[in-house]
Structure 1
Amino acid sequence: MTIHIAEGDITARTRAIIADLRFREGPLLPILHEVQEEFGYVPPEALPVIAEELNLSRAEVHGVVTFYHDYRDHPPGRHVLKLCRAEACQSMGGDAVAERVKALLGIDFHQTTLDGSVTLEPVYCLGLCACAPSAMLDGEVYGRIDEQLAAELVTEARR
């Protein structure tokens, strides 16, 4: 189920976020984080508003949004499952876990299941290198993920 937010609402809510954060040093990243927190993603309609308010080009704002993997340009599923793709996790079987999760969900990274239950995202280090491979489901981290635990996380997320 996709919730439609009117462009005027996006503009007004984005301007309110900017008003609260614009005078911080380097305000673009905090503003983008707040916009994503507000909407679940960074709506394309918010980019020109941010650019105008911060006296940046649209290309500069777009470049930052697309550079950082944590920003989404579309609404996420009800649950977000992040799999660590950093070297430590890959060396401890993370690739097999990722392939298993993709097969179970029927999607690839940066996609959402057709029922809208799960968005799968890569993340490049959760700080659990000693417990590799690792994952995060809705902000809760899990270490020593194997294919069985990955399947349990997918089952939990699909509920």
Structure 2
Amino acid sequence: MQARDFAAPDKERVLATIDRWIPEEGPLLPILHEVQEDLGFIPDEALVIIADKLNLSRAEVHGVMSFYHDFRKEPAGRHVLKLCRSEACQSMGADGLIDAARRLLGIDFHETTADGAVTLEPVYCLGLCSCAPAAMMDGDVHARLDAERLATLIGEARP
């Protein structure tokens, strides 16, 4: 999926978000969260503006953004499938489900299908260890997942 142009209205929205949060202590994370919620991702142009307004280096802002796996630099697909990679899920067959998801979708982690339907992301614990393996599709958790249920989830997300 192609990143969209960073237009003047987007810049104004980023600046308004910064203005809202800058009086607070430690505003960087709330700013990043709000920009992503508003634009669907955090474009490089926004990182430059955020760094400038907070008097931080671009490397500092990029470092925070890249540390947290939920921030994205490109728009996600219409659906986001997160597969748990924790030890509990791995011990219950998550690696096989990950391989199946890659095969069914034709993509790897941090990629989006060509039709823009699904983005595949790893997650390192959904808190469902006793019900492993687990996944999350668009914020809804799915426990005791097997290949058939995974295929159904993916099928429902694709046109």
Q: What is the aligned partner in structure 1 of residue 35 from structure 2?
A: 35
Q: What is the aligned partner in structure 1 of residue 110 from structure 2?
A: 110
Deviation of 1:30 after TM superposition, in Å, equals 1.1
1:124-154 C-alpha deviation (Å, 9 max, x unpaired):
1111111111111111111111111110110
Aligned positions, number: 159
Q: Which runs of 5+ in 1 are unaligned?
A: none
The separation in 1 between residues aligned to 2:102 and 2:4, in whole angstroms, is 27
Deviation of 1:23 after TM superposition, in Å, equals 2.1
Amino acid at match of 2:57: S
CA contact (8 A) 2:6 2:45 kept: no
Q: What is the aligned partner in structure 2 of residue 52 from structure 1?
A: 52
1:9-32 C-alpha deviation (Å, 9 max, x unpaired):
222111111111122222111111
Amino acid at match of 1:158: R
1:53-107 C-alpha deviation (Å, 9 max, x unpaired):
1111111001111121111110111111111111111111100011101100000
Q: What is the aligned partner in structure 2 of residue 132 from structure 1?
A: 132
Deviation of 1:5 after TM superposition, in Å, equals 4.1
Mapped pair 1:79 → 2:60: no
Mapped pair 1:143 → 2:143: yes
Q: What is the aligned partner in structure 2 of residue 68 from structure 1?
A: 68
CA contact (8 A) 2:6 2:43 kept: no
CA-based RMSD: 1.4
Q: What SS is found at the alignment partner of 1:81?
A: strand
CA contact (8 A) 2:3 2:74 kept: no
The separation in 2 between residues aligned to 1:6 and 1:65, in whole angstroms, is 18
The separation in 2 between residues aligned to 1:42 and 1:151, in whole angstroms, is 30
The separation in 2 between residues aligned to 1:48 and 1:92, in whole angstroms, is 43
Q: Which runs of 5+ in 2 are unaligned?
A: none
TM-score norm. by structure 2 comes to 0.94
Q: What SS is found at the alignment partner of 1:45?
A: helix
The separation in 1 between residues aligned to 2:88 and 2:25, in whole angstroms, is 34
